[in-house]
Amino acid sequence: MSAAEIQPLAVTDADRAKAEEASEPSVVSIKNEANKLFAAKHFEEAIEKYTLAISYNPKIAAYYANRAFAYIKQELYAAAIADATDAINIDPTYVKGYYRRAVGNMALGKLKEAIKDLRAVCKASPQDRDARTKLSQCEKELKRIEFEKAINFEENKVSALERIGNVDDIIVEESYDGPRLPESGITLEFVKDLLEYMKAQKQLHRKYALKIMIQVKELLEKLPPIVDVTIPEDAKITVCGDIHGQFYDLLNIFELNGLPSPTNMYLWNGDFVDRGSFSVECILTLFSFKLLYPNAVYLSRGNHETDDMNRTYGFEGEVKAKYSNLTFRLFSEIFNALPIGNIIQSKILVVHGGLFSRDDVTIDDLRKIDRFRQPGGDGLMFELLWSDPQPQFGRAPSKRGAGVQFGPDVTEKFLELNNLDLLIRSHEVKAGGYEVAHGGKCITIFSAPNYCDSGDNLGAYIHITPDCKLKYHQFAAVPHPPVGPMKYAMMGGFM
């Protein structure tokens, strides 16, 4: 929400006092309340308090900069950039405004804009070591991207598989003590051994990782963009949201809910990788189970199964550190083959983000999408991966800076048009791991508890039975090895 969108009250001296100091000693100021909420990681409530402070006095740059920081914590980067810009407009010398705007632009991959603001910060505060570090990182990353664009044009014409060659020729060293993929194909014993091996922070041999990737690529490429899922009478399906490289929480889901099987089906709704520093382990686990039970394990692409996100938020760096750049290129091609949605029992649409900027979109339109590409910056696939629900009717620009925000009327029209009962999506952290919105027609599910080791949120998953009954299960985070989130990220963690 920008300053122009807020309809402020007439600002009086009493209002200013209430916003800054509070009129009574026993009443904590609105600003201080917001700061305490922020410190307690209650970012949504902090945003509401900062907004209230702004309504009393819309001429204080710090209110906008503080709200921008809260938006950054909520990954609402477009809103953060707008607030930081308002802070700068109010006070062009306010350094935090430039810094917050730079962080928002870094998160959106707008490095040139970030560099401009970071240079302003460094000029005003030459001793700011953090700003100087971020400026150096941004400049190096921009040069790297421009260099890779120059050299990769011809390379990208050749598939990763062609460049990898014959995987059977890769030698497995005698010193390797991990699981070995049987020549006859994947087995449950192999997958169980793999989970234990990776749990001990050991790395599956490159030969077997590539074999799994090649096989799952072939399997996924045969699937349609929207997959129809049927639950057998003696089975249930568990829908999980974002796991974001939190491998030990993924293992905990299996501990709580059982391993996948023909009667214990799973649907993983995107954002398997990035942020968490065990993304390779997560994706190899899901790919292995997909190969083992192709009709009981389903995957949907998320907005983080894309090159831009993987470059910024860690998966590319992690794959290069654990395997190679060529392995990452193969992952990128596999992500392009992931289905972009699933329909359960012909009644429940499951996609990662949400709905669209127009009302006439049909499931047939989605089935015609050419998904074998990066999603770009607009269109149905882009909106499906990025959009978020809002409580207000109608549509609004996304506070993320990508996709749209859609209201309960939009959800109702879409479901009615397509003879569906329910939309399940992920893409957003929720304190309880899930949220029921739009009159029960739009469900958000998020399965990464204590997100990025700083969220204090629960994770959740949903059981769905053949008669489309839903049951929610919440769970807390479990300990993991001392490897923090964003270890492999472009900026080493800029939030």
CA 6 centroid distance within chain: 29
Question: 296 is written with which tokens?
Answer: 């009981």
**Side-chain-facing half-sphere of 91: CA atoms under 13 Å:** 14
SS3 per-residue string spanning the chain? CCCCCCCCCCCCHHHHHHHHCCCCCCCCCHHHHHHHHHHCCCHHHHHHHHHHHHHHCCCCHHHHHHHHHHHHHCCCHHHHHHHHHHHHHHCCCCHHHHHHHHHHHHHCCCHHHHHHHHHHHHHHCCCCHHHHHHHHHHHHHHHHHHHHHHHHHHHCCCCHHHHHCCHHHCCCCCCCCCCCCCCCCCCHHHHHHHHHHHHCCCCCCHHHHHHHHHHHHHHHHCCCCEEEECCCCCCEEEEECECCCCHHHHHHHHHHHCCCCCCEEEEECCCCCCCCCCHHHHHHHHHHHHHHCCCCEEECCCCCCCHHHHHHHCHHHHHHHHCCHHHHHHHHHHHHHCCCEEEECCCEEECCCCCCCCCCCCHHHHHCCCCCCCCCCCCHHHHHHHCEECCCCCEEECCCCCCEEECHHHHHHHHHHCCCCEEEECCCCCCCCEEEEHHHCEEEEECCCCHHHCCCCCEEEEEECCCCCEEEEEECCCCCCCCCCCCCCCCCCCC
* Residue 473 annotated among the catalytic residues of the structure: no
- 304, 352, 427, 438: the catalytic one is 304
Spatial separation of the C-alpha atoms in residues 271 and 269, rounded to whole Å = 7
Could you tell me the end-to-end alpha-carbon distance of the chain, in angstroms, rounded to an integer?
20
CA 451 centroid distance within chain: 11
CA angle, residues 428, 243, 353, in degrees to nearest 5 = 35
Residues annotated as catalytic are: 304
